[in-house]
Structure 1
Amino acid sequence: MIARDVSVYYGDKRALDSVSIDITQENVTAFIGPSGCGKSTFLRTLNRMNDTIANARVEGKIELDGEDIYSSGMDVVQLRARVGMVFQKPNPFPKSIYENVAYGPRIHGLAGSKGDLDGIVEQSLKRAGLWEEVKDRLDESGTALSGGQQQRLCIARAIAVDPEVILMDEPCSALDPIATAKIEDLINELRGRYAIVIVTHNMQQAARVSQRTAFFHLGNLVEYGDTSEIFTNPRAERTKDYITGRYG
């Protein structure tokens, strides 16, 4: 994905000012910065989640495989299948584990038969590192799983429709350290198969899972580069102050 000069307004208030960034499949990209800095706002522009906010307005250009995602001809339902989203709080459907994963492929017509659908469900749960834990109870409700399992179920649900990009908005903030470690391992395993973007307040997490890091502050993209460089040799004073804990 390519974003150029993207600004976001909520009514008259500008939440994001002229952000340009490239997101590639081979890297996990982390968005870091203090609360209210615009990182989640920018994440939501990448699959048009801001469309659901009445007074939100997006300016600039965002392209997926060379297509302008804000063009009038863009099918937003199709876009959100190609650019999946995993939210801060796990939000499985009040359906069985199987149906949570099967829902997307079914409505998008990705499975020609029950056997095809079974295969997609199994493959998605395996990729999400959940298959061995749930394979004997696929008929149980997804909401009965633990928090960490629910989040992996949501990741399985996102990858079941074969997206190109997966957006994760603080996916571990509601989880304990063991569940967080499993999600981080999963992100590392999925890298290269999908372009992954993660918003996180946890700088150690950004350092562990990402190869590229973007630092946002007060609606501006202050610095974007290799994660190792951002954390060890930041170019901007504001980045250095944030990383060393002078504010946050």
Structure 2
Amino acid sequence: MAHNVPVAAGRAAEAVTTKMTARDVNVFYGAKQALKNVSIDVSRENVTAFIGPSGCGKSTFLRCFNRMNDTVDSAQVSGRIQLDGKDIYSPDMDVVQLRARVGMVFQKPNPFPKSIYENIAYGPRIHGLARAKPDLDIIVESSLRRAGLWDEAKDRLNESGTAMSGGQQQRLCIARAIAVDPEVILMDEPCSALDPIATAKIEELIDELRGKYAIVIVTHNMQQAARVSQKTAFFHLGSMVEYGDTSMIFTNPVQTRTKDYITGRYG
């Protein structure tokens, strides 16, 4: 419904490929409603940022896009979310396949307790994308290159991924997500545990990956949202208050609640 997707006025027409759509999404944890009637379109050309104070529903909404809320017993999701026009909550949707197509990078880097090489090769192997070592070698190198990690990792591929620095581990997790050839990458506060230098590298990486994948990032850091995204959705108390071009949201928001949050009145 159009009224649920408030777009900043005066936006220039642009050719975008809508990758995922959400319409009237509600999420309950038991009796508590965490998300109320949220609708949004996610395109491949733009990085979309979800901002808002803690507990506003932004991570809950992000987790709807690859059905991570399925892992929470008390969670109930209603509404419609589509990937390339197909309902991801339909009974015939293969959830394992969905999560390969819609990858997730978590707040805390979580490499497998395996070698750097095996962290990358594991997904393509179990999804049947490659079995022979020469094919896996190509995927490992290209994924690490895309994640800006090849030069730092190429001489230590047999070392444990957990021995890397925090920033390197997070880029390894991004490389791991890329390795299964996803279409969408979800990032849930990917820099919150990192120092400023590692954060800058992740932000550069997000910019380089834009257009190759639809990217959605949840962030508490408004400056980060302003730097890395082209579209921003502001959440408050389980509702999406405003959605539009990042530049408009940060300089000329339509809603008073958005303006109050951006200017630091609450948060």
Structure 2 unmatched ranges of 5 or more: 1-19
Letter in 1 for 2:118: E
What's the counterpart of residue 163 of structure 1? Answer: 182
What's the counterpart of residue 23 of structure 1? Answer: 42
Q: Structure 1 residue runs of 4+, over 2 Å off? A: none
Query: What secondary structure does 1:241 align onto?
Result: helix
Query: What secondary structure does 2:185 align onto?
Result: strand
Cα RMSD, aligned residues only: 0.4
Deviation at 1:111, TM superposition (A): 1.1
Structure 1 unmatched ranges of 5 or more: none
C-alpha separation in 2, matches of 1:112 and 1:138: 18
Q: Deviations for 1:200-226, whole angstroms, at most 9, x for unmatched residues?
A: 000000000000000000000000000
Is 1:93 aligned with 2:107? Answer: no
Aligned length: 248
Alignment of 1:1-248 (within 5 A): 1-248=20-267
C-alpha separation in 1, matches of 2:125 and 2:43: 28
Deviation at 1:113, TM superposition (A): 1.9
Letter in 1 for 2:96: V
Q: Could you tell me the percent identity over the aligned residues?
A: 83
What's the counterpart of residue 16 of structure 2? Answer: none
Letter in 2 for 1:27: N
Query: What secondary structure does 2:186 align onto?
Result: strand
Deviation at 1:114, TM superposition (A): 1.2
TM-score (norm 2): 0.93
Q: Deviations for 1:23-72, whole angstroms, at most 9, x for unmatched residues?
A: 00000000000000000000000000000000100000000001100000
C-alpha separation in 2, matches of 1:101 and 1:117: 9
TM-score (norm 1): 1.00
